[in-house]
Structure 1
Amino acid sequence: MLFLPSGFGVGQALSQRLLWEVGGVVGLIPKWDSHQQFLNRTTNTPRVIKPLLKDVMGPWDCKTNSTMFQCVRELSGYLLDHNVMMTEDRELIQVWLADLEVAGYKEPKRYNHEFHCQSTLIATSGLIRPVLISAIQPPASDLSTVMKPQCPQLKYSSSPAPVITDIALIITFNSEKFYDNLPLLEAIHRRYFAHIIYCGPRQDRFKSKLVASVALSNILFIEGIKEGWYFMWECLTLTSKFNLNVRGYLQIGDDTLLNSWNIADLPRDRIWVVHHGQLFRRDEETKRWVWWKHVSGQKAVNRALDTIVRINSKEPGNTHVSNFLKTYSANVGDIDHVYQASSDLVYIPSKMADQFRYLAAIFRRERVIVELTYPTLVHGLAPSADIYVIQGEILWGAKRRQYAKIYNENLFSLHPYKLSHALNSTEGRAFLCGVYMPLQQEYLELLSDQTNYRK
């Protein structure tokens, strides 16, 4: 796997594709900025990895009876035929393999099971066990043992394969004390989503919970939001740096109850929000939102927008800011207002990820609170008519204790739903075990039977 052809991107993709043959995966964590000059001189940069894997290497299959070294030779010949690899590189591979054989290197055995992993990850943060998440699920019995102590009478079974394979689900923790909920979150979400990324502070604390949860596997964690929930969108921006083969990124809080069966058919190319939010005049003196006068509120968001305007005037070719200002002005009428909204569920299509990440970095530098960052940015990413408003319940005050009465299966989400507190009460266990989980199982079986459930 250490062999690198002269085409940088080809070498990375070659290693990833060959690792599939042995049931392995790889994550790449380069320092892009410091290597930019080198990358600009190469004809194959990391940007080509995804199409290489999907369009060129994806259709290739190694012969069933071939050894691992034979697969390497077959793949190099295939790439040469498709004008992806140079003759010199193929000759180097032949010599390299011959040297390994002479040295007595033992070929790894090929993986005999189907491995659904179609992308190489590119990350900039801490990852643990393993670095690349796959669609291979933990054994059903493992997650069943998670549910059984809580819901002894519950019928719990795993789907043959996740029913939502083109969305990366990001579950955020604003405190490490909620990592205890990891096994239950896995049991709730894993059979619906092929790609789940957990994100929160203190990787060491998360790892200790993961090690203690022996039933779990294929877990991906990103260390983020170290300064608290104010900057929770960091999790989405970090995840969007991964070259996951998905059409969008759905971020929720660990205390957001998701009716995943309703998510399955939503349009993947549109932003989703629970509501558009309320508009504040940027110079407004008001007390109608408690965080407006916070250090991460009015002054911070004004600095961020002023920065975007300044960049637009100095860099006329910067389409990230020019398109944002154009779309935002069309949606709002001007840039003298900002949006505020609860942001415990947001979905950003992959096609908008680059622009979102660029703009979010500006808001992060100015330390803008998440409830201003998300709604303001999304209204500059897409026309308001193209922002899909889903039906979600946000429980304020005393309503938090009435989640069981307010909940219904046609909702898309409900927030907050505190797993730890709910399971410590008879009413909470009755809701989870007798209402939510049976509905999840029923819809899971329906979705699993459908061959085309996505738009």
Structure 2
Amino acid sequence: MLVQERSTPESPKTQIRTLPTLHSYRFSKSKSLDFSTWLSENLYKVVTILLLIVTVAALFFLRNVGDTAALLCFQSQTAALEKIQFPKIDWNSIASIPAKSSLYPEFRSEQWIVVSVSNYPSDSLRKLVKMKGWQVLAIGNSLTPSDWVLKGTIYLSLEEQSNLGFRVVEFLPYDSFVRKTVGYLFAIQHGAKKIFDVDDRGEVIDGDLGKHFDVELVGEGARQEIILQYSHENPNRTVVNPYIHFGQRSVWPRGLPLENVGEIAHEEFYTEIFGGKQFIQQGISNGLPDVDSVFYFTRKSGLEAFDIRFDERAPKLALPQGMMVPINSFNTLYHTSAFWALMLPVSISTMASDILRGYWGQRLLWEIGGHVVVYPPTIHRYDKIEAYPFSEERDLHVNVGRLVKFLNSWRSSKHRLFEKILELSFVMAEEGFWTEKDVKFTAAWLQDLIAVGYQQPRLMSLELDRPRATIGDGDRKEFIPQKLPSIHLGVEETGTVTNEIGNLIRWRKFFGNVVLILFCKGPVERTALEWRLLYGRIFKTVIILSETKNSDLVVEEGRLDHAYKYLPKVFDAYSGAEGFLFLQDDTILNYWNLLQADKSKLWITDKVPKSWTTMSAESSDWFTKQSSMVKKIVSMMPVHFQVSHKQSVESEKSVTICSSEVFYVPRRFVADFLDLHGLVGDLEIHHKVAIPLFFTAMDLIQNFDPVLNTMSYREKPAATNSSTIYSVQVPAVHPWNVSNEQDFIKLVRIMAEGDPLLAELV
């Protein structure tokens, strides 16, 4: 019999551990917990808490009832801390950064091509490398493949850029083409005299930059030519579309203020200047020119690539001081005197960086007597069926028009160019065109320029501050641009275009000093730009209101039922305007039928039955309340307002209602409008009641201009837009719904019967 063996358990005594000896010194003696003892040991905590309470109470007291001067002092010190600081630079103690710190310490070249690369080498880039006499410098970013290489090219990876010792590196985003700033410094450090700024989609036509640009400005190879120049006759003309001169008047460059898109007439005449100071040379691109997202997305036809051609025989064209043009980083040649203008801002949206750089640089270029010259097609740029979204260009469409005006008015008393550059960057940050980051970036850029051996150019007297010479008949030079067919827009231009342009000029002349105030009830993010394109061709100023504010699209917030309360702000902002035309976006304005109107009179739809009606004050509680407020306002009116109003209304027991989709207030009635607006005060009188009340008080109905009496008006909107509603023969059409781009395209095609040039918008 097998017996299983088991281990014998240990005795319990063997499992008992010896406990450590507890010494008496490990325990402190018990303390007395009376209040005096506790207070003495925690006195510093009590004092700290009491001081904190007293401080908070004092600030609260000062803010509400106390000595406000003390609080204002405190607040001013806080504001001072938030104020943008002007950089302090000791220009004489900037240490040099030798080329020895780079991988190519001994390499020198006078002609450089600087390009940003995010993908493997393109065919266009390979062709750039083959151009004789030019060194290609490729600047990588965080998107560039780690094994990027192209024979004959100097490539700077992120790591290599950081090892160069340039101050600007710490400000640069990792994934952006603005890292080209490092490349500009590298090229200057290695002997650059000319820098061609380009992207990797551009192929130089005929493979020779010297055939298109003025690569040499002095010496044997220089072309001592007289250059055609835009006329400076109109000092208020501050920005131009160069594409018109080169045969494409329906295309506009990225960076052109949208309010200038409608200016498509060619120049009446030009003047001339001597060449030699065209330090910035902007080339035109065939294929896909530099256009903005508005053009790209509104003109694009399916997936077909753009192939737009410009007149290669048109002469190059200079700009006088006081006039600017968009400059990009895709096709621009910089000479050494303008190398300081290569800095790409870092605190603004990507596709605005080179454009704002261009305007900033042009203004400073005037300080050294330099010129921007635009050249006929220099590269062919391929459309890869892609474009940047509007958000990437937001700083363009919001700020560029205001920036051009600001730059033309800016003056500096500094005595050296770099000091002026830093001052302008600082003031532009104060004005909100970019942030303090770009002020610091400018300071770093200027110090790096000095560190790599760049010599700042000398200043010259500013022509803007001198009387302009009179342009005599002998100084006027004519050039009639070609009218190249815009096949990509489905438009073949014919001889009738001359009459069409003549009409556009007449319309712009008639409405040029009238401010259009457009209230959008529809989605502004889908329609605001389209409305600006449509009416901005005619009206120099278009103000857009909506229930929701949109800063990116420059749309102001306003309630439709109290829209009249916003008008005084517009009147004040545009004190020089001839008049103000209010329009709701469900009403289409046929501006070509308004030329017979008297702009010194009031316009409104008083003879349009369904728009202007009289209702009994007892029709509803709402009418009763509105009637009561009308009576109160009338009772406070001065005699001239009250007499005019009472002669125009049927009965004090009725209320005049006007849908007020469209009306016009001339300059001479603005003061009256403001007086009546002041009488309303805080009363919640509705827009449809206030406008007819104001109009009948300002003037007798029989004195209103009848221009809107024949408008097409239906009270209830149809389910869908119908061509049976619209007529080109009437001054305005209501209702019409535009809620997206497709609706806008349909509208423009119908309106093109009255304004044929509109066909080019779609």
TM-score by length of 2: 0.33
CA distance in 1, matches of 2:602, 2:615: 21
SS at match of 1:232: helix
CA distance in 1, matches of 2:562, 2:654: 21
Task: Say yes or no: does 1:270 pair with 2:617.
Answer: no
CA distance in 2, matches of 1:285, 1:301: 9
Which structure 2 residue ranges, 5 or more long, are not aligned? Answer: 1-234, 240-319, 323-362, 364-410, 422-458, 466-485
Other-structure match for 1:441: 756
Please give the residue correspondences for 1:264-413 in structure 2 after superposition, counting only pairs within 5 Å.
Answer: 264-276=595-607, 277-281=612-616, 284-286=617-619, 293-294=621-622, 297-309=623-635, 311-312=636-637, 321-332=638-649, 335-363=652-680, 365-389=682-706, 390=708, 391-397=710-716, 399=718, 401=720, 403-413=722-732
CA distance in 2, matches of 1:272, 1:262: 14
Q: Deviations over 1:44-88 (max 9, x none)?
A: xxxxxxxxxxxxxxxxxxxx999x9xxxxxxxxxxxxxxxxxxxx
Other-structure match for 2:329: none
> Structure 2 counterpart of 1:230, which letter?
D
Match of 2:588 among 250, 253, 257: 257
Match of 2:742 among 415, 423, 441: 423
> Structure 1 counterpart of 2:614, which letter?
L
Please give the residue correspondences for 1:62-77 in structure 2 after superposition, counting only pairs within 5 Å.
Answer: none
CA distance in 1, matches of 2:684, 2:737: 27
> Structure 1 counterpart of 2:565, which letter?
E
Please give the residue correspondences for 1:205-216 in structure 2 after superposition, counting only pairs within 5 Å.
Answer: 206-208=550-552, 210=553
CA distance in 2, matches of 1:191, 1:98: 35
Other-structure match for 2:556: 223
> Structure 2 counterpart of 1:341, which letter?
C
Other-structure match for 2:526: 180
Q: Residue 243 and residue 333 in structure 1: after superposition, are their counterparts in 2 closer, same or farther (change >3 A)?
A: same
Q: Residue 65 and residue 173 in structure 1: after superposition, are their counterparts in 2 closer, same or farther (change >3 A)?
A: closer
How many Å apart are 1:360 and its aligned residue?
2.7
CA distance in 1, matches of 2:728, 2:595: 14
CA contact (8 A) 2:518 2:584 kept: yes
Q: Residue 258 and residue 324 in structure 1: after superposition, are their counterparts in 2 closer, same or farther (change >3 A)?
A: same
SS at match of 2:567: helix
CA contact (8 A) 2:524 2:546 kept: no
Other-structure match for 1:171: 518
CA contact (8 A) 1:280 1:338 kept: yes
CA distance in 1, matches of 2:678, 2:722: 35
Q: Residue 100 and residue 238 in structure 1: after superposition, are their counterparts in 2 closer, same or farther (change >3 A)?
A: same
CA contact (8 A) 1:331 1:383 kept: yes
How many Å apart are 1:302 and its aligned residue?
1.8
CA distance in 1, matches of 2:651, 2:699: 15
Q: Residue 265 and residue 421 in structure 1: after superposition, are their counterparts in 2 closer, same or farther (change >3 A)?
A: same
SS at match of 2:572: coil
Task: Say yes or no: does 1:192 pair with 2:538.
Answer: yes
How many Å apart are 1:346 and its aligned residue?
0.8
> Structure 1 counterpart of 2:756, which letter?
Q
CA contact (8 A) 2:592 2:754 kept: no
How many Å apart are 1:109 and its aligned residue?
6.1
Q: Deviations over 1:364-411 (max 9, x none)?
A: 621111111111211111111111231222223364635410221111
How many Å apart are 1:196 and its aligned residue?
1.5
How many Å apart are 1:185 and its aligned residue?
1.0
Considering Cα pairs closer than 8 Å and 6+ residues apart, tell me whether 1 or 2 has the greater RCO: 1
How many Å apart are 1:433 and its aligned residue?
4.9
Q: Residue 437 and residue 293 in structure 1: after superposition, are their counterparts in 2 closer, same or farther (change >3 A)?
A: farther
How many Å apart are 1:419 and its aligned residue?
1.6
Task: Say yes or no: does 1:245 pair with 2:576.
Answer: yes
How many Å apart are 1:189 and its aligned residue?
1.0
Q: Deviations over 1:396-439 (max 9, x none)?
A: 33646354102211111112211226835xxx85x535431242
SS at match of 1:252: strand
Q: Deviations over 1:74-123 (max 9, x none)?
A: xxxxxxxxxxxxxxxxxxxxxxx9964499547896679xxxxxxxxxxx
Q: Which moved more, 1:244-253 or 1:300-309?
A: 300-309
CA contact (8 A) 1:252 1:346 kept: yes
Q: Which has the larger radius of gyration?
A: 2
Kindly, what percent of the aligned residue pairs are identical?
A: 13
CA distance in 1, matches of 2:521, 2:555: 13
Q: Residue 393 and residue 361 in structure 1: after superposition, are their counterparts in 2 closer, same or farther (change >3 A)?
A: farther
- When the two chains are superposed, the root-mean-square deviation of aligned CA atoms in Å is 4.2
SS at match of 1:171: strand
CA contact (8 A) 2:578 2:667 kept: yes
CA contact (8 A) 2:748 2:759 kept: no
Q: Residue 154 and residue 199 in structure 1: after superposition, are their counterparts in 2 closer, same or farther (change >3 A)?
A: farther
How many Å apart are 1:444 and its aligned residue?
11
How many Å apart are 1:358 and its aligned residue?
2.6
> Structure 1 counterpart of 2:538, which letter?
Y
Which structure 1 residue ranges, 5 or more long, are not aligned? Answer: 1-19, 25-63, 69-96, 113-143, 211-220, 287-291, 313-320, 446-455
CA contact (8 A) 1:202 1:223 kept: yes
SS at match of 1:223: strand
Q: Residue 99 and residue 340 in structure 1: after superposition, are their counterparts in 2 closer, same or farther (change >3 A)?
A: closer
CA contact (8 A) 2:527 2:739 kept: yes
Q: Residue 385 and residue 174 in structure 1: after superposition, are their counterparts in 2 closer, same or farther (change >3 A)?
A: same
Q: Residue 301 and residue 423 in structure 1: after superposition, are their counterparts in 2 closer, same or farther (change >3 A)?
A: farther
- The answer to which structure has the higher helix fraction is 1
